[in-house]
Structure 1
Amino acid sequence: MKRHVLAAIGTLAVAGPALAQAPAPAATPGQTAFRTLYKEFVETDTSVSTGSCTALAGKIAGHLKAAGFADAQITLFTDPQFPLDGGLVAVLPGSDPKAKPMLLLGHLDVVNAKREDWTRDPYAFIEENGYFYGRGTSDMKVIDAIWVDTLMRFRTEGYKPKRSIKLALTCGEESGARLNGAEWLSKNKADLIAAEFAINEGGGGDTDGKGKLVTQSMQVGEKSNRSYELTATNPGGHSSIPIDDNAIYELSDALEKVRALKFPIRFNATTKAFFAKAGAARGDDLGKAMIRLSADPSDKAAEATVIADRTFNSMLRTTCVATMLTGGHAVNALPQRATATINCRIAPGEDGDTTKAALEKAIADPKIAVTMVGRLRPVAVTPPLTPQIMGPAEKLVARYFPGVPLIPTMSTGATDATYLAPVGIPTYGVPGPWGDPDGNGAHGLNERHAVKSAYVARDFLYDLVKAYADGR
Structure 2
Amino acid sequence: MADGNVAEDEVVRICQELIRIDTSNPGDNSGPGERAAAEYVAGLLDEVGLEARIYESHPGRASVIARIEGTDPGRDALLLHGHLDVVPARAEDWTRDPFGGEIADGCVWGRGAVDMKDMDAMMLAVVRRRLREGRRPSRDVVLAFLADEEAGGKWGAQWLVQEHAGLFEGCTEAVGEVGGFSLTVPGDKRMYLIETAEKGIAWMQLTAGGTAGHGSMVHPDNAVTALAGAVARLGEHRFPVQMTKTVRAFLERACMAYGVEFDPAEPEKCLAEIGPLARMIGATLRHTLNPTRLDAGYKTNVIPQTATAQVDGRFLPGYEEEFFTVVDELIGPDIKREFVYHDQALEVEYEGALVAAMERSLISEDPGALPVPYCLSGGTDAKHFAKLGMRCYGFAPLRLPPELDFSGMFHGIDERVPVDGLRFGVRVLDQFLDHA
Q: If the length of structure 2 is used for normalisation, what is the TM-score?
A: 0.86
1:334–1:174: structure 2 CA closer, same or farther, 3 Å change rule?
closer
Aligned with 1:424 (options 361, 383, 389): 389
- Whether 2:323 is the aligned partner of 1:375: answer no
**Structure 1 residue 312: deviation in Å?**
4.6
* Contact 1:356–1:372, Cα closer than 8 Å, also in 2: no
Q: CA deviation at 1:422?
A: 0.6
Q: What is the distance in 2 between the residues matched to 1:320 and 1:50?
A: 28
Do the aligned residues in 1 keep the contact of 2:11 with 2:124 (CA within 8 Å)? no
- The answer to which of 186-195 and 322-331 deviates more is 322-331
Contact conserved, 1:207 with 1:437, CA < 8 A, in 2?
no
Residues 299-310 of structure 1 mapped to structure 2, 5 A cutoff: 299=265, 302=266, 305=269
The answer as to whether partners of 1:46 and 1:56 remain within 8 angstroms in 2 is yes
C-alpha distance 434-414 of structure 1, shift in aligned 2 (>3 A): farther
Cα deviation, residue 166, structure 1: 1.2
Judging changes above 3 Å, is the alpha-carbon distance between structure 1 residues 306 and 312 closer, same or farther for their aligned structure 2 residues?
farther
Q: How far off is 1:256 after superposition?
A: 4.2
- SS of 1:374's equivalent in the other structure is strand
Pair 1:307–1:258, CA change in 2 (3 A): farther
> What one-letter code is carried by the residue in structure 1 that aligns with 2:337?
T
Contact 1:216 / 1:431 at 8 angstroms: preserved in 2?
no
Whether the aligned pair in 1 keeps the contact of 2:207 and 2:307 (CA below 8 Å) is yes
When residues 227 and 463 of structure 1 are mapped into structure 2, their CA distance, relative to the original with a 3 A threshold, is same
Instruction: For residue 126 of structure 1, report the CA deviation from its aligned partner.
Output: 1.3
- Counterpart in the other structure of 1:292: 263
- Aligned pair 1:462/2:433, yes or no? no
Structure 2 residue identity aligned to 1:355: F
Q: What is aligned with 2:161?
A: 186
2:306 maps to which of 321, 337, 340: 337
Q: Which piece of structure 1 moves more, 93-102 or 382-391?
A: 382-391
**Is the 2:268–2:282 contact (alpha carbons within 8 Å) kept by the matching residues of 1?**
no
Cα distance, 1:146 vs structure 2:
1.2
CA contact (8 A) 1:229 1:372 kept: yes
Distance in 2, matches of 1:53 and 1:28, equals: 29
Give the one of 49, 62, 68 matched to 1:68: 49
Structure 2 counterpart of 1:143 = 119
Give 1:123-138 correspondences, 5 Å limit.
123-138=99-114
Count of residues in correspondence between the two structures:
418
How far off is 1:381 after superposition?
A: 2.5
Partner of 1:218: 194
Partners of 1:445 and 1:304 in 2: CA distance: 28
1:134–1:260 Cα change, 3 Å: closer
CA distance in 2, matches of 1:247, 1:358: 22
Given that residues 88 and 169 in structure 1 are in contact (C-alpha distance below 8 angstroms), is that contact kept between their aligned partners in structure 2? yes
Verify: 1:78 aligned to 2:56, yes or no. yes
Distance in 2 (CA, whole Å) between partners of 1:273 and 1:59 is 40
Tell me by how many angstroms 1:273 deviates. 0.8
TM-superposed CA distance for 1:448, in Å, is 1.2
Alignment map for 1:378-397 (pairs within 5 Å): 378-397=343-362
Equivalent residue of 2:263, what SS? helix
Q: Which amino acid aligns with 2:55?
A: F
Conserved in 2, the CA contact under 8 Å of 1:93 and 1:164?
yes
Structure 2 match to 1:21: none
Aligned to 1:447: 415
- Return the alpha-carbon distance in structure 2 between the equivalents of residues 165 and 366 of structure 1: 50
Flag the 1:278–1:244 CA change in 2: closer, same or farther, 3 A.
same
Instruction: Tell me whether 42-51 or 59-68 shows the greater mean CA deviation.
Output: 42-51
* Unpaired runs of at least 5, structure 2: 273-277
Aligned sequence identity (%): 29
Residues 48, 132 of structure 2: 8 Å contact kept: yes
SS at match of 1:325: strand
Distance in 1 (CA, whole Å) between partners of 2:35 and 2:46 is 17
Distance in 2, Cα, partners of 1:344 & 1:334: 29
The amino acid of 2:333's aligned partner reads P
Change (3 A) 1:68 1:218: same
Residue pair 2:184, 2:191 contacting (<8 A) in 1 also: no
Name 1:13's counterpart in structure 2: none
User: What is the alpha-carbon root mean square deviation over aligned residues?
Assistant: 2.8
What does the per-residue CA deviation read over 1:400-430, in whole Å, with 9 as the maximum and x for residues that have no partner?
A: 2233321211000111101101111121111
CA distance in structure 2 between the partners assigned to 1:37 and 1:327 by the alignment: 46
Residue aligned with 1:375, SS: strand
Residue 272 of structure 1: CA displacement?
2.0
- For normalisation by structure 1, the TM-score amounts to 0.80
Secondary structure at the counterpart of residue 36 of structure 1: helix
